[in-house]
Structure formats: structure tokens, C-alpha cells
Amino acid sequence: MADPVLIRFTQDGRRVEVIDGWVCLAGVREADQLVPLPEHPNRQAIAREVPGATHVAGRLPLTHAEAAIALGALCAAQRQFDASPAGIAQRIRKAVWAKVAAEGVE
């Protein structure tokens, strides 16, 4: 288990950080990947409310610099192989999601 990587503090003082391959808000998991703002379904509202946002992690808009920190920490976490049942289940879940996304849902 790697140390948490701080991305920033929210306006109300909560920590946004990467913990064990997850972007977390106050220690609670938000997302395991970042979505570039142009690909987000609610991009116009996010861009209007957070002008510097380039990526989104769950409910968290991130600037370019914050996204770079988060991506680096997420990539480092992915390089560590987790052979636990939870790690295996996570990899299977990601593979199923990728397959469904590639085939499209009707």
C-alpha cells in the first residue's frame, strides 16, 4: 500500500488525494479514473462553474496541474500488482466495463 498523494484541499478544508488507486475526497472513494472534460456529459455546466477544470474525477473537477498529479499517482498505483481477492475483483470489473463500453449498451 502506497502513501496517499495529496492533490489539493477543497474550499471547506477536505483533502482530495489518491489513495490505493482511487481519487478520494476526505478519505472516501470518488473515482478510479479521470474523465477529460470534453468527454464528460455535463461538461458545459462544469466549465461554467469551474473555469479552469480540464478533468473530472467523480464529483471532483480538477485543473490541468491537479489532473497531472492525480494521473501520476493513479498510474503508479496500477503498476503495483494486487493479488488479493479485492484486487482481482477490481481488475475483472474494469475488464467487464471496458468490454461493455466497447460493444455499446442497447
Length of the chain: 106
Verdict on whether the full-model pTM lies above 0.75? no
Does some domain include residue 106? no
Convert the pLDDT of each residue in 23-49 to its tens digit: 999 999 999 999 999 999 999 999 999
Does some domain include residue 20? yes
Domain of residue 64 covers: 5-81
Distance CA 72, CA 66 (A): 10
Looking at the structure of the chain, the number of domains it has is: 1
Helix (H) or strand (E) holding 38: none
User: Looking at the predicted structure, is the pLDDT value of residue 98 above 90?
Assistant: no
Question: What is the reported pLDDT for 76?
Answer: 85
User: Looking at the predicted structure, is the pLDDT value of residue 18 above 80?
Assistant: yes
Convert the pLDDT of each residue in 52-95 to its tens digit: 999 999 999 999 999 999 999 998 887 767 778 887 888 898 88
Does some domain include residue 100? no
